[in-house]
Structure 1
């Protein structure tokens, strides 16, 4: 097992995502956390050679320095392992790395970036059709993770959006359990 990333390493990873990112790449840790959560929840193992280009928007970036490439790859591998271990070790207490924002009423959880990453992960892992119950769980995540739902999300109140947070958490845990059972059977 690889050691978890320190706060300093997480900041370095996010800086590398931004520095080498583009309109199609993962640009922040929340989205990357969602992406790796979906990969860890996948019924099939996706190798880094397949998911690394997906994080970067289709192909691995052209790095300005060899040290950047080494750090980018090493930090990505360790963070993917860290997320997978957190799910495997204590699923009931797993906390996705959601973003937070402030409005006139206080702090709110922002689901979109994380959910976009999760949905990207399901696409890279080529998830197959799910049974009805698991499909409903995935819909709780895809509501916030697909551009097709922007108009609907705009109609929801602050309270309705925050009520989605426990639904997404339940979905993450339920999908992970389901996929692990599928892998074991």
Structure 2
């Protein structure tokens, strides 16, 4: 088991995502966490050579320095392993890495990036159609993770969006259990 990333390493990973990012790549840790959650919850194993280009928006970036490439790849592999371990060790305690915004009314949870990452992960892993119950769980995530749903989200009140947070967390847990109970 690889050691979990320190705060400093997580910051470095996020810096590398931004530095080498583009319009199609994963740009922050919340999205990356969602992506790796979907991969770990997947019915099939997706290997790094399949998912590394997907994180970068299609092809692995051209790095300015070999040290950047080494750090990027090593931190990615460790973070993927860390997320899988968090899911596998105690799925009922698993918490997605959502972003938070401070408002006058307190902290507001932003699920969008995480959900986008999750949906990207389901695409990379080529998830098959799910049974109705699990499909509803995935819809709780895709509501916040697909551009097709932006119009719908724009019509929702902030408190209704916040009320979706526990549903998304529960959906992530249940989808992991669903795909991992068959092995």
Aligned-residue offset at 1:43 = 0.4
Partner of 1:169: 169
- Number of residue-to-residue matches in the alignment: 183
TM-score normalized by the length of structure 2: 0.99
For residues 151 and 138 of structure 2, the distance between their equivalents in structure 1, rounded to whole angstroms, comes to 19
Partner of 1:10: 10
TM-score normalized by the length of structure 1: 0.98
Residue 109 of structure 1 aligns to a residue whose secondary structure is strand
Partner of 1:109: 109
Aligned-residue offset at 1:116 = 0.0
Q: How does 1:27-42 map to 2 (within 5 A)?
A: 27-42=27-42
Partner of 1:71: 71
Partner of 2:54: 54
Partner of 2:154: 154
Q: Show structure 1 runs of 5+ residues with no match.
A: none
For residues 124 and 87 of structure 1, the distance between their equivalents in structure 2, rounded to whole angstroms, comes to 19
Moved over 3 A (4+): none
Partner of 2:44: 44
Partner of 2:142: 142
